[in-house]
Each structure stands twice: as C-alpha cells, then as structure tokens.
Amino acid sequence: GEDLSHTGLLHVPEKLSQCPAVAPGCAEVLREPGCGCCLACALSSGELCGIYTAPCGSGLRCTPRAGDPRPLHSLTRGQAVCTEIPEPEPTSQPQIQEQAEPDLEMDNTAIISDPGSSLYLSGHNKPYDPRAAADAQESMKAKLIAIRKKLVEQGPCHIELQRALEKIARSQQKLGDKLTRFYLPNCDKHGLYKPKQCESSLDGQRGRCWCVNSWNGKKLLGSADVATDTECP
C-alpha cells in the first residue's frame, strides 16, 4: 500500500491519495478500468468480475456465464466471471467473411460509432468497459451478417418452402404411403414465387397448376387452373 503520489507516475496527487491500497502479496497488479489511474490487484480465473471491479489478470477476460439471460446486467453488477481467452482457431474463415462482407464495416460504424465514448450506461458516469464494448461490436457484426443473409436467402417463397417441408415431414410420419399429393412452393433465386405453381404428386398423376403473384404467392384473381405446359403471365 505505498503512496504512489510521490513517484511521479501521475500529476494528480490528490486523486491518487484516494486510491485504495493494493493488498500485499498480490500476484499481478494492473491499472483499474475506467480512467486507469489507480492500481488494483488483478482477479484470477473463476473470480467474479464486472465493469466496475478490478480487472481480470493477463490472458483472462471478464465474460458473462454461458446462457446468462441478462449478460449486460451481470457485467454492470459484477456478476460475470474471469474466463480464459480462447486461443484463436487456426482457420481462414474470418478472412473469407471479411472479403465477402466489405461494406459491413460501414454499417457497424453507424450503429456503434465509438464504443468508448458513446456507450455510457444510464445512471453511471463511468465509461463502458472497452473489452465488453468490443464484444458487443463483434456480436452486432455477426447479427448484421445473419440478417443480411436471411434477407437474401429467405424471400417470402423460401420461408413458405421451409414450412411446407417441415409440414410434409410431419405428415409423412403420420400418413406414410397415403401421402401422395402435396404442394411445395416453386421459388426463384431471389426467394420470390415463380409465376406458375404446381402440386407435386407421388402417384404418377399430374398435379394441378395455377398462376400466382410473384411477391406473395397468392393465386391470381379470377384465374382458372392451367395445364402443366402452359406459361403464366
């Protein structure tokens, strides 16, 4: 617990004199999160931590427990745990993703322009833990990739196709060989409906066909069923 105000480390002796003393015999001493003025005894693996606690030791990161329903709450209340930072896996996957999503960086900056300065927690005047902010930015990035992929892959027709496949799988378990006719949406590469939709049949009979609106798959008003070799408008 020596007084650091005379060591010349910082020019705010009156602030430093208010720093809590570091316990003797501490294995690792690190600067506190936040302003990083005071020194604190680093927490070891498995110890409870949070945004306002002493920092986790080298090679450890303060992370909420797996499956925690309120991870941010745990970080602000000191209920997260010092966990070993996993070794980055030797894979080229991240680079591929970066090349495939060149404009994602821009999207992120619009949402989290500066994690250090903008993410203040209401009711606290201390800035957000930069490690947690980096994690938040990573998960936001993953969400954006997922949303974008979903928009491309899952047009209205693709979503209905997924549901239809699940329904058929369930019917097949119940009906077995009796399931001879079913409808699977006919989708184009954008996930919209092709103008002509037909029933599928397993009994060798031709299923009926009809013309639809490409956006919502609804049968065109006033149109009769069409022959399988007829083109729809």
Buried b vs exposed e over 193-223: b needs ≥16 C-beta within 10 Å? bebbbbbeeeeeeebebbbbeeeebeeeeee
Instruction: Give the separation between CA 208 and CA 48, rounded to whole angstroms.
Output: 65
Give the count of beta carbons closer than 10 Å to the beta carbon of residue 158.
20
Among residues 38, 32, 35, the alpha carbon closest in space to that of 62 is found at 32
Give the count of beta carbons closer than 10 Å to the beta carbon of residue 93.
8
Phi, psi of 167 (to 5 degrees): -65, -45
Q: With the CA atoms of 114, 116, 117 and 122 taken in that order, what torsion angle do they form, in degrees rounded to the nearest 10?
A: 120
**Which pLDDT does position 180 carry in this prediction?**
76
User: What pTM was computed for the model?
Assistant: 0.36
| Whether the Cβ atoms of residue 54 and residue 41 lie closer than 8 Å to each other | yes
**One pLDDT digit (tens) per residue for the chain, 233 residues:** 555 444 444 455 666 677 888 888 888 988 876 666 788 899 999 999 988 888 999 999 898 888 888 888 888 888 999 999 877 766 544 444 444 444 433 433 334 444 444 444 444 455 557 787 778 778 888 887 777 666 656 789 988 988 888 888 888 778 776 777 888 899 988 889 999 999 887 777 778 899 999 999 999 988 888 888 888 98
Instruction: Give the separation between CA 83 and CA 95, rounded to whole angstroms.
Output: 26
**Which pLDDT does position 127 carry in this prediction?**
58
Cα–chain center distance at 148: 12
CATH topology for 16-86+159-211?
Omega-AgatoxinV (4.10.40)
- Identity at 74, one-letter amino acid code: S
**Which pLDDT does position 153 carry in this prediction?**
67
- Beta strand segments in the chain, E: 29-31, 39-41, 48-49, 60-63, 80-84, 181-183, 196-201, 209-211
Please say whether the dihedral angle defined by the alpha carbons of residues 99, 101, 104 and 106, taken in this order, is positive or negative: positive
